[in-house]
Amino acid sequence: MIRISFARFTTPRFVRTAVLAATALCAAMSAAAAESGGKPSVEQQEIQLLQQQLAAVQAQMKLLAEQNQTLLQKELALERQVTQASLAAQTQTPAPVAGAAASPSPATSGAAPAAGGVPAATAVTGPAAAGAAFSNVRLWGYGELYYTRPTRDPGKAKADLARAVFGIGYSFDSRTEFNSEFEVEHAIASASDAGEFEVEQFYVDRRLSNAVTLRAGLFLMPFGLLNEHHEPTNFYGVQRNFVETLIIPSTWREGGFNVHGDTESGFSWNAGLTTGFDLSKWNYAPEFPQYSTALDLANSHSAPLASTHQELALANAHDLSQYVALGYYGLPGLSLGAAVSSGKAVKVPAPTNAPIPGDQRVTLWEAHARWTPAKFDLSALYAHGSISNLGAANASNPGSPNPIPSEFYGYFAQAAYGLWEQGDYRLAPFVRWERYNMGSRYAGTSGPVVPGGLVPLSATPGDYGYWPRNQDRVWTVGANFYTTPHVVFKADYQWFDLNSDFNRFDLGLGLNF
Amino acid sequence: MNPKNKGLSRRAAYWLALLGSLAGCGGGATTASTPAGEALSAAAVAGKALFSDTSLSVSGRQSCATCHVAARAFAGDSAADHGLPVPLGGANMDQTGFRNTPSLAYASFTPGFSIKGRPTGGFFRDGRASTLATQAQQPFLASFEMANHDAAEVVARLRQSSATVQKFIAAYGEAVLDDPETALRDIGLAIAAFETEDPDFHPFSSKFDYWQQGRAQLTAQELAGLALFNNPGKGNCTACHPSQRQGFDSHPLFTDFTFDNIGVPRNWAIPTNHPDGLSPIDGAPLSAPPAQVVIPADAEYAYYDLGLCGPFAPAAADANARPILAATTSLCGLFKVPTLRNIAITAPYFHNGVFSTLRQVIEWYVTRDINNNAANNPNPVAAGPGGNPYAAAGTFYTAANGTPDLYQYNDLPAAYDANVNIGEVPYTPPTFGGGQAPTLTSDEIDDIVAFLCTLTDGYDPKNPNAYNLPAQCRGGAAAGAAAYTQGSTL
């Protein structure tokens, strides 16, 4: 994302100068008109007078120009200070800067600086403008639209403005910065529509030293390649990968605080205390499959952690979770990372006089790597989640098509290649193989009791299909085509090994700024 | 009642139920008493007296308790109604009602009526009363029930019933008797207080409840039945009768309080369904059915009970009741989903009481659109040892003379057939391995019946053998499998 100074959009300096000049000229002309009389040497006198007035106006304008120049210098100096401060803060914390190591587009496009850096446009933009009050405000945004067509059931093709996100940042001083992102999902957020309006990030960073920053508020969890860098220009494929949607519940954010920093040798670290998961929200008894297309699979929030994360919406905070994330980006083109989070969850649903004994602990860990040799962009990720002590809860819901899994995992490997590049245009085909399993082990039950054969997929008469499996292996082949590093057109095709009804063709448009 | 009090009374209910069981009360709910009567508020004490005071009826033989029998989870007792699926009432106790008496157990958890999305809640089987209190007033004035002409007549009878009126005055004062309308309102409030406060109405003492607490074991068959109950491809019962807690209470209530039209067969044992309109008791003319309903001109019969859209209209005095929905024909034939708690002891089943055993109910559910619906399935799969539980075509849908009536959904004018739920399991069975077969085998139906029996209140984990279950729960596979015959036992 490019941070653009608010001042870029205003030109009060020119307006002010023009107004001053016009006023002066107008006054001079009025005076000249008033003094025009009928004397013999009248024309000469007039010319002389006008020359004098012109000289006076010129002198006045020169003075104004000098004053203006002084103001400009001061403003530039101030702006430089602010930029340096935010540069320092962002170097230590990749999020929410999109140009970090994990993003595919800047890393190979050359349009953005190296790993961990800040997009060029974040620096002083255009002629420094007035409006000092806004010069420490930053605005950015991103969004994605797509068309998805299940090839075996084209009747379920959908087009969606999946996300429109706007960010606002503010620098209080050289060490304290606020960042936020506001998101509209699925175009319309109302009681009768599927869309949501949500606060995705809302936090304050306080730089304690050059190496350590304290963050507090609602922030993205530093897990995986995508969670913190989920702008559509930063990943291959129209949709986000399944592992980082169903296992790591991107966009995963929690409320709390963390301390994070980088070392000069290229290590990053991040440790925090946050809100956790709420298993009381679990739906043991979906009458119909919670998803019947690949699009539903990602959007239905039925995955183990996607259905139980709290997003700081009146989140139960009796038990907090802890996490640690480590990264290494000390070698050019290589980025490694791993993270683990663990904490007690809000307990599973049970009648008040029949509490489920013991606590449930949710643990998620992941490891990832990304390597960009020459025109290649290679990445891989493994994520594993577990929830403890579910035997009694699952046993009390026999026959459930959706018991709570004790373990779930996923992994993927992906290769992209910068096939063609001209100016800002860039074409990068890619292939990804991924495996996800949203329930690899269950306690208290042998697993979901899923009806065989054709079953109703919804209450709509005649809407029949097969109850989907909660695991799969997926091939994705496609390409990202960038018209600028910040606007990308995408196309891909996905093959599902088990849920072959999910096979689909996708087109997408993504942008960020 | 504030939530805190509610919680206290619930806990009290639990301990009382436990205490009752420990004291060797035996039959649990069937002999449920209220040992801690002093725990009831003055209003509830008055309500308790009003509930069983037959002197408030014109016949002198009918009170709330006459039709809402405590031993049957406050549902009707057809044996006391000459075997009819509807209660008797009226000045001479010769008038027949229109609907099978619903259980009042757990009724106090019913939410108010709302129609956002799916119609939900409200009291009576058609949700026409806004509260338990406004519901409780209405039988006093119904011509086919307690038959009082107006509130003044109810109050006059109350004044004559010294034990009851003393308790009523203790709760509401004497002056209120001078204003009959207000007094009748308070009578409703008192009865509602009784039904809400007295733990006998919601003991949560079933074997299922104890199993949830880890204090009882369900048998393998009962557990298998629960799994089938929950399985969205088999029973899918939980879709409308949730076995998980919902927002209404911390316990599962086995109803989501929504309304549905499931195309229940017409019950010819309800006298009003016959055109002659005479009392089976003494041949007297029956009260005319209420008429707030739109019957299409091409309907097969003159009278239908269509639930939400009529024939009953909300009482004029019930200011917060739902609107009259007679014109909303898309709601015709929808009735409120009842709780399945105590279902084994609340036969007959459905709003018209057309079935007398749980096995029949489930057989009908899983075969409704297979062998009974000539339009859906002109070539029904033959019954047989392979597990197909249904009997001959036309078993459940019959004409007045008992012959098969394959005119589908014969208790609904054909014009309203589209209102019937055909989108959910088990109504429209999926094609398991080809051919339209029921979603449940005969053995699986037995399993579900076994589970449903565990929803009967009055289980004592210390003395499981004393669990007083009806015959249909005791007979193993043959329970309730008796030949299906419709009609009164007169």
Residue B436 is predicted with a pLDDT of: 63
pLDDT in tens, A270-320: 999 999 999 998 999 998 999 999 999 999 889 999 999 999 999 999 999
Q: Rounded to an integer, what distance in angstroms lies between the CA atom of residue B130 and that of residue B123?
A: 6
Per-residue pLDDT band for A475 (boundaries 50, 70, 90) equals very high
ipTM score of the complex? 0.75
Task: Give the C-alpha distances (Å, rounded to integers) separating A153 from A292, B25, B181.
Answer: 10, 61, 62
Residue A357 is predicted with a pLDDT of: 81
pLDDT in tens, B357-393: 999 999 889 888 765 554 544 455 554 444 445 555 5
CB neighbours of residue A480 within 10 Å: 28
Q: Rounded to an integer, what distance in angstroms lies between the CA atom of residue B361 and that of residue B267?
A: 13
Residue B113 is predicted with a pLDDT of: 95
- CB contacts of A448 in chain B (<8 Å) are none
Per-residue pLDDT band for B275 (boundaries 50, 70, 90) equals confident
Of B212, B233, B433, the CB nearest to A351: B212
Cβ atoms A435, A388 nearer than 8 A:
no
**Residue in chain A nearest B434 by alpha carbon:** A453
CB neighbours of residue A435 within 10 Å: 17
pLDDT in tens, A342-355: 999 999 877 766 77
| Inter-chain touch B428–A398, beta carbons under 8 Å | no
Residue showing tokens 């899994």: A405
Cβ atoms B59, B490 nearer than 8 A:
no
Phi, psi of A497 (to 5 degrees): -75, -50
pLDDT in tens, A217-251: 999 999 999 999 999 999 999 999 999 999 999 99
| Inter-chain touch A287–B239, beta carbons under 8 Å | yes
Of B209, B212, B425, the CB nearest to A455: B425
Per-residue pLDDT band for A191 (boundaries 50, 70, 90) equals confident
**Residue in chain A nearest B210 by alpha carbon:** A354
pLDDT value at A69 more than 90: no
Q: Rounded to an integer, what distance in angstroms lies between the CA atom of residue B286 and that of residue B96?
A: 7
Of B11, B424, B433, the CB nearest to A287: B424
pLDDT in tens, B206-252: 999 999 988 999 999 999 999 999 999 899 999 999 999 888 888 99
Residue A99 is predicted with a pLDDT of: 37
Residues 210-229 on B with a CB inside 8 Å of A are 212-214, 223-224, 226-229
CB neighbours of residue A283 within 10 Å: 14
| Inter-chain touch B232–A397, beta carbons under 8 Å | no
Task: Give the C-alpha distances (Å, rounded to integers) separating A384 from A244, A307, A406.
Answer: 11, 16, 11
**Residue in chain B nearest A465 by alpha carbon:** B430
- CB contacts of A453 in chain B (<8 Å) are 233, 430-433
Mean pLDDT within B420-431: 74
DSSP code, position B350: T
Q: Mean pLDDT highest for which of A286-290, A463-467, B304-308?
A: B304-308
**Residue in chain B nearest A290 by alpha carbon:** B232
- Residue A396 at interface with chain B, using a CB cutoff of 8 Å: yes
- Residue A358 at interface with chain B, using a CB cutoff of 8 Å: no
pLDDT in tens, B434-488: 446 778 888 999 999 999 999 999 999 999 999 989 999 986 544 455 556 564 3
Residue B71 is predicted with a pLDDT of: 95
pLDDT in tens, B335-348: 999 999 999 999 99
- Convert B398-424 to b/e letters by CB count within 10 Å (16 or more is b): beeeeeebbebbbbbbeebbebbbbeb
Residue A116 is predicted with a pLDDT of: 35
Q: Which string of DSSP letters, residue by residue, matches A324-388?
A: EEEEE--STTEEEEEEEEEEEPBPPP--TTSPPSS--EEEEEEEEEEE--TTEEEEEEEEEEEE-
Per-residue pLDDT band for B277 (boundaries 50, 70, 90) equals confident
Taking Cα atoms as reference points, which of A301, A315, A163 lies closest to residue A235?
Answer: A163
Residue B274 is predicted with a pLDDT of: 87
Cβ atoms B480, B450 nearer than 8 A:
no
pLDDT in tens, B12-71: 444 444 443 433 333 333 333 444 445 899 999 999 999 999 999 999 999 999 999 999
Mean pLDDT within A176-188: 96
Rounded to the nearest integer, the mean pLDDT of chain B is: 85
CB neighbours of residue A118 within 10 Å: 22
Residue A36 is predicted with a pLDDT of: 44
**Residue in chain B nearest A402 by alpha carbon:** B231
Residue showing tokens 């009458």: A287
Percent of all residues in chain B with a pLDDT value above 90, rounded to a whole number: 64
Of A350, A398, A400, the CB nearest to B223: A398
Percent of all residues in chain A with a pLDDT value above 90, rounded to a whole number: 65
Task: Give the C-alpha distances (Å, rounded to integers) separating B405 from A303, B361, B381.
Answer: 48, 18, 18
- Residue B9 at interface with chain A, using a CB cutoff of 8 Å: no
Of B229, B251, B430, the CB nearest to A351: B251
CB neighbours of residue A184 within 10 Å: 18
Query: B33 versus A471: which is more confidently predicted?
Result: A471
CB neighbours of residue A338 within 10 Å: 17
| Inter-chain touch B227–A398, beta carbons under 8 Å | yes
Pairs of CB atoms within 8 A across A/B: 103
**Residue in chain A nearest B208 by alpha carbon:** A396
Of B223, B234, B425, the CB nearest to A456: B425
Q: Rounded to an integer, what distance in angstroms lies between the CA atom of residue B460 and that of residue B467?
A: 7
